[in-house]
Amino acid sequence: GQNIDQPTEMTATEGAIVQINCTYQTSGFNGLFWYQQHAGEAPTFLSYNVLDGLEEKGRFSSFLSRSKGYSYLLLKELQMKDSASYLCAVREDTDKLIFGTGTRLQVFP
């Protein structure tokens, strides 16, 4: 079956670092995506991992371990505008993305 788990909610302080974890069990694996979604808006692409290791992109980094079925999204120097939901999604062998339910991050001043 398919299962993607993320924490439901997280809180952090402006300027801090936060790590959002994602574990997955899917019938196939062809890449993992992270998307950001502000309430009522469309998801926007943050990162893509298909090989093990860390991908860094400005304040955001994403890590993947395929053997452990595990990824994390690391957000540094948090800003108030980073308050949003963060969606982990796995592409199976077919083209479709399976999304987790998302982690709602609240950044406080």
Partner 1 sequence: DSGVTQTPKHLITATGQRVTLRCSPRSGDLSVYWYQQSLDQGLQFLIQYYNGEERAKGNILERFSAQQFPDLHSELNLSSLELGDSALYFCASSEEPQGSYEQYFGPGTRLTVT
List the strands of the sheet with 18-25, edge to edge.
3-5, 18-25, 70-75, 60-65, 53-57
Please name every residue paired with 2 in a beta bridge, in sequence order, or none if there are none: none
45 versus 108: smaller Cβ distance to partner 1? 45
Lookup: tokens for 33: 């995506």
Q: Is 25 in the site for partner 1 (CB under 8 A)?
A: no
Query: From residue 54 to residue 83, what is the string marking binding to partner 1 with x (rule CB under 8 A)?
Result: ------------------------------
46 versus 78: smaller Cβ distance to partner 1? 46
Q: Could you list the residues that contact partner 1 (CB under 8 A)?
A: 30-31, 33, 40-45, 48, 50, 87, 89, 94-102
